[in-house]
């Protein structure tokens, strides 16, 4: 069992929150369970829009390829968040998330962020800030990965 599975305050998205702030987020969140192979969100679907956090289990992140094939992009472990791009920018999902085994997920529908803002402005601010920092970290990792795949072209002065 990971620290996040046994204690919410160990999850990165809740890291800067007080116990009361975490409780307020938990009050408005929905808890959903998925069996092995079930799809949580599907690439190109617009719903459901919101922020997901993996509480127990693991999930694959996959992208569709031409010809109906899929490419696994990542394996999510407890504490991981996903759906943050659609949470911040309502648009269809950029990947499919599928349960590897039995999973428990916490889901915060995008429309409930206003409820959280009224209930506890500090919790709403910290949730958005923490999710943004996690998303920025993912983007930095992707930038490094992309640069490794496509190294910069040599300039004439380097020849």
Q: Are the beta carbons of 60 and 97 closer than 8 angstroms?
A: yes
Quickly state the pLDDT bin for 119 (edges 50, 70, 90): very high
Pick the CATH number of 3-139 from 2.60.40.10, 3.40.50.720, 3.40.50.620, 2.60.120.10: 2.60.120.10
Q: What contacts 66, CB < 8 A, 6 or more positions away?
A: none
Domain boundaries, the chain: 3-139
Q: Where are the alpha helices (DSSP H) in the chain?
A: 3-6, 19-28, 84-88, 113-119, 121-149
**Residue 156's pLDDT is what?**
65
Q: Are the beta carbons of 107 and 157 closer than 8 angstroms?
A: no
Strands (E), 20-114: 30-34, 39-41, 50-56, 59-64, 70-76, 81-82, 96-99, 103-109
The structure tokens 């007080």 sit at: 18
DSSP 8-state symbol, 119: H
Q: Are the beta carbons of 61 and 81 closer than 8 angstroms?
A: no
- Note the pTM of the prediction, 2 decimals: 0.83
**Residue 144's pLDDT is what?**
78
- pLDDT tens per residue, range 129-147: 999 888 888 888 877 777 7
Q: What are phi and psi of 64, to 5 degrees?
A: -75, 140
């Amino acid at each position: 069992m990971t620290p996040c599975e046994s204690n919410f305050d160990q999850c990165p998205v809740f890291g800067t929150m007080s116990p009361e702030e975490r409780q307020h987020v938990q009050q408005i969140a929905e808890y959903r369970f998925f069996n092995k192979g079930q799809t949580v969100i599907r690439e190109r679907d617009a719903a459901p829009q919101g922020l997901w956090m993996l509480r127990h289990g693991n999930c694959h992140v996959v992208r569709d390829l031409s010809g109906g094939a899929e490419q696994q992009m990542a394996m999510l472990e407890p504490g991981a968040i996903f759906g943050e791009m659609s949470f911040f920018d309502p648009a269809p999902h950029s990947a499919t998330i599928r349960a590897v085994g039995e999973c428990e997920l916490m889901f915060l529908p995008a429309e409930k962020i206003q409820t959280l803002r009224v209930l506890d402005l500090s919790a709403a601010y910290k949730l958005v800030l923490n999710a943004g920092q996690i998303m920025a970290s993912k983007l930095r990792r992707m930038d490094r990965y992309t640069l490794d795949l496509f190294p910069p072209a040599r300039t004439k002065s380097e020849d």
